[in-house]
Structure 1
Amino acid sequence: MNIRIICIGKLKESYWVNAVCEYSKRLSKYCTLTINELKEEKSPDNPSNAEKSAVIEAEGKSILKHIKKDTYVIALEILGKQLSSEALAEKLNKLGIEGKSDIAFIIGGSLGLSDEVLSRADFRLSFSKMTFPHQMMRIILLEQIYRSFKINKNETYHK
């Protein structure tokens, strides 16, 4: 299975980078993982609605350029469907059985995802109604993908 994380912004702090490296290493046993870090658009301190929309649209166009036609897209979106770890594992397993082996998870910028990206998504996933820093969300996502593979292989992993 090919898993791609398409995200806005680069990780700068070493602790986030180290966490991504650790989960990338763990996931290498189960899938091919690619992380596409895309440029975060500049925005003024107090952007107008038009400026916010321009940022969201520009980031959306950048995201869409990295999605292949046959890729199954899961957008991380606060209004998406919440799943348990077991349900996410089941979803990934079912996608593999259906022959959908190229999966992209999308993490938008601080202002969210464009309507065009959300329309392209095959599934909208919410981890919580709370807002998390995008750097942390990347780690949480990688951990849950790893946990999904462990669940699907009936391998032990801490709860």
Structure 2
Amino acid sequence: MNVKVITIGNIKENFIKDGINEFKKRIKPYANLEEIELKETLITDENTSNIEKSLDDEADKILSKINNRDYVIVLDINGKQYDSVDFSKKLEELKIDGYNDFAYVIGSSYGLSKKIKNRADLKLSFSKFTFPHQLMRLILFEQIYRWIKISKNEPYHK
């Protein structure tokens, strides 16, 4: 299985970097993992048209990292919610259907362009709560590891 995590912006906090690195290390025996950090487009004037242009610029960067064979899962507060077991089952069904390449996308603090949402095979919501993007990346890596452990029927140490 190939897993790609595409994000806008970088991680500033060391404790979050440490947590992400721990889960990347745990995932490595089970999947080819690639983390792609893309530079956030600077917005100097926060009017709607500038934000949309910025999101479109970021979308172009994201789309350049997505292959045709990737099953694209975007994190979107309005997306479908699953519990960990059900989402692990969903991924196993997708693998049975022939998908082996998964690309998870986390947008900037302004979200994601419609271009990316339209390309998504699945819009996934972890919660109706808003999380900081750095923390969301850590949560995503933890969940990827959890989904793998569930699918392998292996214990997950809580």
Scaled by the length of structure 2, the TM-score of the pair is 0.96
Is 1:99 equivalent to 2:98 in the alignment? yes
Classify the secondary structure of the residue corresponding to 1:77.
strand
- Residue in 2 aligned with 1:5? 5
Q: What corresponds to 2:125 in structure 1?
A: 126
| Aligned-CA RMSD value | 1.0
The unaligned stretches of length 5 or more in structure 1 are: none
How many Å separate the matches in 1 of 2:29 and 2:101?
16
Unaligned runs of 5+ in 2: none
> Residue type matched to 1:13 in 2?
E
Q: CA deviation at 1:60?
A: 0.9
Q: TM-score, normalised by structure 1?
A: 0.96
Alignment of 1:39-78 (within 5 A): 39-44=39-44, 47-78=46-77
Task: Give the match for residue 36 of structure 1.
Answer: 36
Task: Quote the offset at 1:40 in angstroms.
Answer: 0.5
2:19 partner letter: A
Structure 1 window deviating more from structure 2 (11-20 vs 136-145): it is: 11-20
Partner secondary structure for residue 11 of structure 1: coil
Letter in 2 for 1:35: E
The superposition leaves residues 103-122 of structure 1 with CA deviations (integer Å, 9 ceiling, x where unpaired) of 00000011111111001000
Equivalent position SS for 1:147: helix
Q: Which runs of 4+ in 1 moved over 2 A?
A: none
Deviation sequence 1:52-72 (CA, Å, 0-9, x none): 111111111111111001110
Aligned length: 158
Structure 2 distance, partners of 1:55, 1:34, is 24
The letter for the 1-side match of 2:111 is G
Quick one: percent identity of the two aligned structures? 46
For residue 34 of structure 1, report the CA deviation from its aligned partner: 0.4
Give the SS at the match of 2:75.
strand
Q: CA deviation at 1:79?
A: 0.4
- Which residue of structure 2 lines up, in the alignment, with residue 141 of structure 1? 140
